Structure 1
Amino acid sequence: MPSNEQRRAAAKRKLERQLARRAEQEKKRKRWMIAGSVVGVVVVAAAVTGVYFLTKGDDDTSTTATSQVPTTPFVNTPLDLPGPPAPAAKPATVDCTYPATQGEPPAKPVTAPTQTTGVATTGPEVKVAIDSTQGPIGLSLNSAEAPCTVNSFVSLAKQGYFDKTSCHRIVAKPQFGILQCGDPTASGMGGPGYAFNNEYPTDLYPLGDPALQTPVNYKRGVIAMANAGISPDGTGTNGSQFFLVFGDTTLPPNYTIFGTIDEAGLKTLDKVAGAGTKGGAEDGGPAMPISFNSVKVS
Structure 2
Amino acid sequence: MPSSRDRQRKLARAKLDRQLARRAAALRRRRRIQAGVGAAVALVLVGVGGFWALGGFDREPEPVATEICSWTPVNAEDNPNVKDVGRPATTDLPTSGTRPMTITTNLGRPITVDLDLTDAPCAGASFSYLAGKTFFDNTKCHEITTEGAVRCGDPSGTGQGGPTYSYAGENLPQAPEPAASPAPGQPPLYPAGTVALVGNPPGSYGSQFLIFFKDFNPSSASYPVIGQVTSGLEVVATIGAVPTVDNGSGSTVKPEKDVVIQTLTVGEVSTAAPSPGTPSGSPAGSPGAAPAASPAPSTTGRS
The reply to whether TM is greater than 0.5 is yes
- Residue 142 of structure 2 is aligned to residue 168 of structure 1: yes
Hey, what's the Cα distance between the residues in 2 that align with 1:201 and 1:111?
Answer: 26
- 1:247 matched to which residue of 2? 214
Taking only the aligned residue pairs, the percentage that are identical comes to 30
Match of 1:126 among 99, 108, 126: 99
- 1:291 matched to which residue of 2? 260
- Residue 160 of structure 2 is aligned to residue 189 of structure 1: yes
1:105·1:193 contact (CA, 8 Å) conserved in 2? no
Please list the CA deviations of residues 116-153 of structure 1 after superposition, one character each: whole Å capped at 9, or x if unmatched: 12422223x10111111112211110001100111111
Q: Which residues in structure 2 correspond to 1:3-22 (within 5 Å)? A: none
- 1:225 matched to which residue of 2? 197
Please list the CA deviations of residues 65-97 of structure 1 after superposition, one character each: whole Å capped at 9, or x if unmatched: xxxxxxxxxxxxxxxxxxxxxxxxxxxx86110
- 2:22 matched to which residue of 1? none
SS at match of 2:206: coil
Look up the equivalent residue of 2:83 and give its one-letter code: K
Give the total of aligned pairs: 187
Hey, what's the Cα distance between the residues in 1 that align with 2:124 and 2:114?
Answer: 10
Hey, what's the Cα distance between the residues in 2 that align with 1:288 and 1:272?
Answer: 10
Please list the CA deviations of residues 143-165 of structure 1 after superposition, one character each: whole Å capped at 9, or x if unmatched: 01100111111110111000010
Larger Rg: 2
Hey, what's the Cα distance between the residues in 2 that align with 1:139 and 1:263?
Answer: 7
- 1:180 matched to which residue of 2? 151
SS at match of 1:288: coil
Q: Which residues in structure 2 correspond to 1:1-298 (within 5 Å)? A: 95-102=68-75, 103-104=78-79, 107-113=82-88, 115-123=89-97, 125-135=98-108, 136-171=110-145, 176-201=147-172, 217-228=189-200, 236-251=203-218, 252-264=220-232, 266-278=233-245, 283-298=252-267
Look up the equivalent residue of 1:96 and give its one-letter code: C
Structure 1, unpaired ranges of 5+: 1-92, 231-235
Hey, what's the Cα distance between the residues in 2 that align with 1:237 and 1:192?
Answer: 12
Kindly tell me: are residues 164 and 152 of structure 1, through their superposed partners in 2, closer, same or farther at Cα, counting changes over 3 Å? same
Kindly tell me: are residues 254 and 171 of structure 1, through their superposed partners in 2, closer, same or farther at Cα, counting changes over 3 Å? closer
TM-score by length of 2: 0.56
2:149·2:214 contact (CA, 8 Å) conserved in 1? yes
1:218·1:250 contact (CA, 8 Å) conserved in 2? yes
Kindly tell me: are residues 259 and 94 of structure 1, through their superposed partners in 2, closer, same or farther at Cα, counting changes over 3 Å? farther
- 2:285 matched to which residue of 1? none
SS at match of 1:249: coil
Hey, what's the Cα distance between the residues in 2 that align with 1:250 and 1:297?
Answer: 28
Please list the CA deviations of residues 32-70 of structure 1 after superposition, one character each: whole Å capped at 9, or x if unmatched: xxxxxxxxxxxxxxxxxxxxxxxxxxxxxxxxxxxxxxx
**How large is the Cα RMSD of the aligned pairs?**
2.8
SS at match of 1:267: helix
SS at match of 2:134: coil
Structure 2, unpaired ranges of 5+: 1-65, 183-187, 268-303
SS at match of 2:255: coil
Per-residue deviation at 1:278? 2.2
Look up the equivalent residue of 1:242 and give its one-letter code: F
Per-residue deviation at 1:104? 2.8
Per-residue deviation at 1:249? 1.5
1:272·1:290 contact (CA, 8 Å) conserved in 2? yes
Hey, what's the Cα distance between the residues in 2 that align with 1:128 and 1:294?
Answer: 10
Greater mean alpha carbon deviation, residues 101-110 or residues 187-196 = 101-110
Kindly tell me: are residues 109 and 150 of structure 1, through their superposed partners in 2, closer, same or farther at Cα, counting changes over 3 Å? same
Kindly tell me: are residues 106 and 98 of structure 1, through their superposed partners in 2, closer, same or farther at Cα, counting changes over 3 Å? farther
Kindly tell me: are residues 183 and 229 of structure 1, through their superposed partners in 2, closer, same or farther at Cα, counting changes over 3 Å? closer
2:113·2:231 contact (CA, 8 Å) conserved in 1? no
Please list the CA deviations of residues 243-274 of structure 1 after superposition, one character each: whole Å capped at 9, or x if unmatched: 1111111343222101011232x111111222
SS at match of 2:228: strand
Per-residue deviation at 1:283? 4.5
2:84·2:164 contact (CA, 8 Å) conserved in 1? no
TM-score by length of 1: 0.57
